[in-house]
Each structure stands twice: as C-alpha cells, then as structure tokens.
Amino acid sequence: MPEKPPTPKAGSARSGRRWLSLFYALPVLFVLGICSYMAFRSASHQKLPVRKISANPFVTVKIADLDAHLFTQGDALRASGSDMFLEFRDAQGKLAEVGEVTFELVLKMPDAVMHSIGKVMHTATPGQYRTSVQPGMAGEWTATLGYSGPRGQTETNFSVKVM
C-alpha cells in the first residue's frame, strides 16, 4: 500500500497567519514609534519664544478717566504680526483693573475693509493685558480699544501706524 503524504496540521496554518500579520504590523508600529518620538522631542524640549517688548509705549490714549498704554516690540506694529502689552492706569498712575478688554484694528480702503482682532488676555497683574494682532498690511489703521467691567463699559478709537 502506498503511504499517504502527511497532511498539514490546522495549527501550523494559524501560526503562519499570525506570523504574516506580525510581519505587516511591525513596520507600521516602527514608523508610528519614530513619529511619536520626533513629535515628543520637538514639543517638549523647546523653550518658549522670548520677545523683548519696549519699555516705552508706542501709543498712549485716554479712555474714560484712565490712560491706556500700548507696548510692542519697537515703536510700531508690524504687518506680519505683533505681540502687544496693554496696561490701564488711573490719574494717580496706579494700575487699574477694567475687566474684559477688546482690541480691533480696521483698515478702510476703496472697495475693501480689513480687520485684525486681537484676543486680549489677562496677565497675573491686575490692569495689565496681553494680545497678538496680525494686520497683514502696512498703513494707517484705526484701532478700537474698549473694556467692560467694574469701571463700566466704554471704547475709544485712535490711529495706529503699522509698518
């Protein structure tokens, strides 16, 4: 009687599939690991950017009974974007908390109007605020600065040079 060739066992077929799926999964896991490592390195080991803000305000405006001083890097806002520091002082020169502050730039041109709105955030010191604006174009812009809070609600308009 002729001998029958050995039949493959069901367990070895399953084992082959397991090795095949592992073969495809390892490169994907390797690439994900490399990408995660690169993202972690770039996000966790960089210092925050330090921008020197001028000690002298580039604009001082009267708003209600307060003086608002606006500071930035240099003596004017930049079209590419500027970080701003705002402070409100009373008649005695003391910082004054005003609540929620709004800041908007408007440039009116023939056939177009451009807006740049800065989200104004509180700092740790009452009466001092920070914001960023990106006008996008040089020129004489009209700024609107306002507040709403314990000292009431008011706003003022003034001209700002953007370089």
**pLDDT tens per residue across span 63-116:** 999 999 999 988 889 998 899 999 999 999 999 999 999 999 999 999 999 999
Tell me how many domains the chain contains.
2
Looking at the fold, whether 71 and 32 belong to one and the same domain comes out as no
Looking at the fold, whether 33 and 81 belong to one and the same domain comes out as no
> 13-55: per-residue pLDDT in tens?
667 777 777 778 888 889 999 988 888 877 766 665 666 788 8
Looking at the fold, whether 34 and 80 belong to one and the same domain comes out as no
| Residue range(s) defining the domain that contains residue 88 | 59-162
* Model confidence pTM above 0.85: no
Beta carbons within 8 Å of 118's beta carbon, 6+ residues apart: 84, 103, 104, 105, 131, 132, 133
Looking at the fold, whether 40 and 115 belong to one and the same domain comes out as no
